[in-house]
């Protein structure tokens, strides 16, 4: 891999840049400035969501960047209150409007089992997916997928889906590799995207990680992002600081040795763990 413009190929043949820029917990001008800085630094994959409340700022930054729209891969997501066929159609139209775009490159169901739909989550996911298949067929969404889905959520979706999700964006880092979910994704040709690839910073406090970083003359964050790529994951690092935005992209000039990969794989539970989507109160 040579850089930020390198791509994975999704199951439908579409190309997706191997590193994305995350915007969770970035509000207003902070989201605008960070996306602008990311695009300036060479990122060509921007990840947002209706639930982040920043689509308008992300869209404005994309517009103001001067980068050709066709060269930017844009993801947004369906929020928890909007599951169901008609609600999904309205939510998607709202996201496109806020982003100022006539299509997105990837549209995801953000959460498989929102608290408001806990009694009928399978049914409303199926309805939402039907609407998303229509967005895909019309070209308004170039790819469709899910986020935070476990194998049983995917099994339920596939009972009625015409199109298998192309992406599953999950909490994925050395503290929680979610092997069962990753294996399921691999078996179904679903790309595993890693949100919070640094565990919202908690992973960087693992002492052994800093020892490995020193060996490669890299930061702990760069080592973890490199680890993610070597596993075939697609990390979505987020920062609002220009120096870190640039540094998080400087991960293509070294390779972790197998022994170091194995050491990092052994960090399970040393920082944050994934939230259970079936019991989370949102």
Quote the CA–CA distance of 207 and 190 in Å, as a whole number.
33
Quote the CA–CA distance of 40 and 54 in Å, as a whole number.
19
Q: Are strands 191-195 and 167-171 parallel, antiparallel or unpaired?
A: parallel
Bridge partners, 141 (sequence order): 104
Q: Is 249 helix (H, G, I), strand (E, B) or coil?
A: coil
Q: Is 115 helix (H, G, I), strand (E, B) or coil?
A: helix
Residue 201 CA to its chain's centroid (Å): 17
The pairs formed by 6-10 with CB atoms below 8 angstroms and a separation of 24 or more are 6/252, 8/191, 8/232, 8/234, 10/143, 10/166, 10/167, 10/191
Residue 186 CA to its chain's centroid (Å): 16
Which residue numbers are catalytic?
52
Residue 211 dihedral angles phi and psi, to the nearest 5° = -65, -45
* Cα four-point dihedral sign 162, 74, 104, 92: positive
Bridge partners, 171 (sequence order): 195
């Amino acid at each position: 891999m040579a850089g930020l413009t390198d791509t994975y190929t999704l199951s439908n043949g579409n190309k997706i840049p191997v590193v994305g820029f995350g915007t969770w917990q970035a509000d207003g001008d902070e989201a605008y400035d960070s996306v602008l800085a990311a695009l300036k630094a060479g990122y060509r994959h921007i990840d947002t969501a209706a639930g982040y409340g920043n689509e308008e700022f992300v869209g404005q930054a994309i517009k103001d960047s001067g980068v050709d729209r066709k060269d930017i891969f844009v993801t947004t997501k369906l929020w928890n209150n909007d599951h169901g066929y008609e609600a999904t159609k309205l939510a998607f139209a709202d996201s496109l409007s806020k982003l100022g775009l006539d299509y997105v490159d990837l549209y995801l169901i953000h959460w498989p089992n929102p608290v408001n739909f806990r009694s009928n989550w399978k049914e409303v996911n199926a309805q939402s997916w039907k609407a998303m298949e229509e967005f895909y067929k019309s070209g308004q969404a170039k790819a469709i997928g899910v986020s935070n889905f476990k194998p049983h959520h995917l099994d339920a979706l596939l009972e009625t889906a015409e199109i298998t999700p192309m992406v599953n964006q999950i909490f994925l880092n050395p503290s929680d590799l979610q092997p069962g979910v990753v294996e399921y994704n691999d078996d179904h040709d679903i790309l595993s995207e890693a949100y919070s690839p640094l565990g919202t910073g908690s992973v960087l406090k693992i002492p052994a990680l800093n020892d490995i970083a020193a060996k490669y003359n890299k930061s702990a964050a760069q080592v973890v992002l490199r680890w993610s790529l070597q596993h075939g994951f697609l990390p979505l690092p987020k920062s609002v600081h220009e120096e870190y935005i640039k540094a998080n992209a400087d991960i293509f000039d070294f390779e972790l040795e197998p022994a170091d990969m194995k050491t990092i794989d052994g960090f399970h539970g040393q920082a944050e763990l994934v939230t259970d989507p079936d019991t989370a109160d949102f």
